[in-house]
A and B are shown apart, each in its own frame.
Chain A
C-alpha cells in the first residue's frame, strides 16, 4: 500500500491559490509533507491558516494549484473528478467537525453509504457496518436518525462511517469542534484507539490539547508549514523504545 519506506502519502511543493475576481489568495504555499503508514499526524494552526484547505487536498476533495500528491504510491493530483471520487471512496475516511450525517438516513444507512457507492455486496456490507458501529459503541442505535442522537453520538457514527470502508487514512477536520469537552475527549480517545489498532490518522485541530495526542504535529501559518514537533503520542512511543521517523 505504501510508496516504499512506509510513506503512505506525500505532498511535494503543493500550492493552492484561490482566485476571486482580481484577488489571488495563496491558501497554501509550497507544502512538502509525508505521512507514514500507521502514523498519527496533527495539523495545527490558527483559524484561516490553511488547515482545512490542506485537509481537503489530502482527502482529494480539492486539487492543488501546483505540486504533486502521491497517495499509496499513486499520483493523484491530476485525476479526473470521477477517479478522485473512487479514490476517496476506497482509500479515505472523513470525519467532519459538523458530523455531516444525512438527516433522512438512519445510523445504519449513514454508515452503509460509502460501501453502497463502492458496490460492496449486501452481506459483506452488513457485516462491515455492524463491525464499524460496534467499534464505536453505537451498535444499539442502528435504526435511529441523527436528530435522535447527541452530538457525541453523532460524531461516533461519523467515525464508524469513516472506518467502515477500511480506508488507508482517516482524515478528521476539527472533530471536536462541535462537541463539549467530555464528548470531545471521548472522540479523540476513539481516534487514538483506531491508531493503536493500525490506522493512519490525520487530524486538523486548533486545540493544543488534542494535538498532543498525535505522534507528530505540523504547524501551519499563512499557508506555510512553520514548525513540526513530536506530540505526546510520539514521546510515549519513544519512551517505550519506538523511534519516529519523519521529514
Chain B
C-alpha cells in the first residue's frame, strides 16, 4: 500500500510535468466515460430498472398470437382472459386492463381529458401497491352493475382537487357517469404505462359473444418457485385446450408471455438502445486507444528512466504497477469529469423526451448504479489504456537501453502497436460517423419532407361517450355542428373532422372489391381507413384528383360512398378510374353496405410518415359509427391563436366535453417522430467525439513519430532529401493507417447501420453517399493530422537533428 501511495504521488508529479499529454488523455477519457455513462443510464432506465414495485421482475405480461394468420401478438378477449384466469396455477392471479380516454368533469373546474385504465378488480392487488388515500379496487368493484368508482392519480388530486384530504367519497363525472372517488395513488404511480386515473371495467362477459367485444392486456405475478418457462408452458397448454374447445374462435391461437416492461418497450426500441450503447462503447474504446497511445509514447520516452529503475533493483511488477497507477490517476480524473458530462447528458435527454410521455417506470438518472458503472469503467479503462504501455515500458532490455547512446543507428519509428491502435481508432470512428451521417440524413429528410398537404393546421381530439351521446345521430349532429361553427369563425380558411390525421396514424380494415373472390378471410386485402367530414381534403389543401368530395347529403339512408387514394387505385384498379366501382369493409361474414367510390385523392401518409402500406379509403362520418375524432382547422394566421375560440365553440355545444392533444399537425408529427431527432443528435455527439478523438489520436501519433524521427529526418536531409521527400515519408505512414482504418471502419459501419435501420427515415442503411462522404471526411481529417507534423518535419535543421538524442 505504501508503494501505491508513493506511485500515486509520483504519478501526480509526472502528470503535472506533462500538462499537454495529461490534458488530452483526460479530455479523451472524460468524453469516453461521460458519453458511455449517459447511454448506460438511458439503457438501464429504459430497459432494466423495471417496475417500481415489490419483486416486480415476477410480473409478467400475457397476450395471444396466431402464427397461422401471421399475427405475432394480439390482446386477449374477455372470454380467453376468464378461462386463463380460471385454469392457470402458475400465477398468484391474473388481471386485465385496457387504456382509454377518461373525461373528468364536475363542479371543480372545466372538463378535462385524462389517460385512464379500465381494470379488473384485482389489478392493484397483483402489483402490491397501496394508495396514498382511501382504497384500491376490491374483487366486487368490477362486477356488472357495481357502483361506479374510481381511483385517481396524485397529479389529478394535487392539481384539480388542490390536494383535498376529503376527496375520498366525493362524486365526480367520468365519461358522463357519476362516479365515486375511492382512492388516490401515490406520486409517480402511472400503471399500466402513463395513466392518471383508474376505473373498474365492469364488463358482463355473458352479454358478449365469444371472440368478440373488448380485448385486454393481461398480466400476472408468478408464484414463488414458478419459473417463466413453466408458466409459459402451462399457458400454452391452456391455449391448446381452448383451441380444442372453441375451434371457431381459437383456432391457431397461442399464448405469449414476457416480463411486463418488455412488452411496452418493444424489441425494436430495445435493439436500438443496445445498438446505441454498443456505438458509444466504441467512443470509449477510441478514447482508451488514444490514451494508450499517448502513454506508449511516454513509455518510450521514459525508457531510460525505467532502465535506471530496473538497474537499481525494481521488479517488472513494480514498474508495471507504477505505470498503471499513472493511468489510474488520469482515468480517475476523466471518470469524475465524465460523471459530470453524464449528468448533463441525462438531463438533456430527459428534456428531449419529456413531451413523448414514456412509460412511467422509465426513470433515467445518475444514481448509485450509474456511479458503480463509472467505477467499473474506470477500472476497465485503466486496464485498456494502461496495461500495454506498462508492459511495453517494463519489458525493454534495460541493459540495451542503458548502452543505447553508444550505438550509432536510429531505430526511432513509432511501434506497430501504436500504429495498430490509431488504425483501430480510425476504424471505430468511421463506423460511428457513418451511423451519425445516416441519422443526420434521416433528420434532414424528415425536416424537408414534402407532405403534399398543409401541416400548419390546428388539431385537437374530442371523444363522445354513450352516457351523453347514446346514438350515432347525436354524435353525427355534434361533429357537424362543431365543423359548421368553426368554419364560420373569422380567420378560418377551412375546418373538418376525421378519425385519423395524415402524417400520424389512421386505422385499417380488411375489405372486399366488388367482383373479386377471396377463398379465405385472410385473403381479404387491407387498407387504411378514416371517417371524415366534408371539407377534410380542402382544409389540408389536397386537391381531389377524380370525382368529388363528400357532401352534406352523404348521410345514412343515402347511397353509401367512399373516397380512395391513388395508391389504392393503382393497386386494386390497375390505375384505371375506380369511380362508380364498389367496395365493402369486413370479410366473408360482413354485413356492411357496399360503398360506391365517388372520388380519388392523393396519398396523404395515412399510416404516418414512414408508411409502407399507403393504400387507403375515406368514408363520411355521417355514414359511420365513430366516437373519437380529430378536429382540423386551417387559419390565415397563427394556428395556435385559435385555441381559445376552439375551446369556446366546443363548450358552447357541450360544456362537459374536454379537448385534448391540442397542437399544430406539424408539431405533432415532429413529436411523434422524436426519436429521429433525439437519437440523431445522440449519434452526432458520438460521431463528433469519435472524429475529434481519432483526429487527435492520429495527430498525436504522427507528431510523436516525427519527434522520434527527428534524427532520421536529419540524416535523410543530410543525404539530400528534399522537403517533398520528407513530407511524403511522414504522410505515407499516416496514409497506410488511414487506408486500413477506413476499410475496417466501413465494415463496422455496415454492421452498425443494420442496428439503426429502425430509426432511419427514407435512408438506406448502406447509403453509398453517406459511406463515401464519411470516408472523405475522415480522409481529410487524417491527412490534415498527418500533414501538420509532416510539415514540421521539413523544418528540422539537419545540423541540430544530427546531434539529436
Contact = CB atoms under 8 A, between A and B. Distances in A.
A192 interface: no
A147 interface: yes
Nearest to A55: B799
Nearest to A100: B715
A165 B409 CA distance: 20
B484 interface: no
Interface stretch (A42-50, A89-97, A194-202, A235-243): A89-97
Interface in B389-414: 406-413
Contact of B408 (A82, A86, A114, A178): A178
A117 B410 contact: no
Interface in A92-118: 94, 96-104, 113-114, 117-118
Contacts of A61: 718, 798-799, 802
A8 B220 CA distance: 103
A178 B405 CA distance: 10
Contacts of A101: 408-410, 715
Contacts of A154: 408-409
B719 A94 contact: yes
B720 interface: yes
B716 A104 contact: no
Given A104-B413, A117-B722, 12 more contacts: A81-B723, A82-B723, A85-B721, A88-B720, A98-B802, A99-B409, A100-B714, A101-B715, A114-B719, A117-B725, A154-B408, A155-B408
Contact of B410 (A85, A103, A161): A103
Q: Bin chain B's interface residue count.
A: 20 to 34
Given A61-B799, A96-B802, A102-B712, A147 B411 contact: yes
A113 B408 contact: no
B372 to A, nearest CB: 46
B331 interface: no
Contact of A151 (B408, B720, B798): B408
A59 B720 CA distance: 11
A118 B409 CA distance: 23
Nearest to B795: A81
Contact of B718 (A59, A82, A97, A151): A59
A86 B409 contact: no
Nearest to B406: A178
Contacts of B714: 100
A185 interface: no
A78 B704 CA distance: 33
Nearest to B794: A81
A103 B719 contact: no
Interface in A17-69: 56, 59, 61-62
Nearest to A101: B409
B723 A100 contact: no
Interface string B409-428: 11111000000000000000
Interface in B702-746: 711-712, 714-723, 725
Contacts of A161: 719
10 contacts: A61-B799, A85-B717, A100-B408, A100-B409, A100-B410, A100-B718, A103-B412, A117-B719, A118-B720, A147-B411
Contact of B721 (A59, A90, A104, A117): A117
B409 A88 contact: no
A115 to B, nearest CB: 10
Contacts of A155: 408
A94 B723 contact: no
A146 interface: yes
Given A100-B715, A102-B715, A90 B409 contact: no
B716 A147 contact: no
A28 to B, nearest CB: 13
B410 A102 contact: yes
Contacts of A99: 408-409
A114 B407 CA distance: 22
A102 B799 contact: no
A147 B409 contact: yes
Q: Which 6 A-B pairs give the minimum distances between C-beta atoms?
A: A89-B720, A103-B411, A99-B408, A146-B409, A98-B408, A103-B409
B720 A117 contact: yes
B773 to A, nearest CB: 36
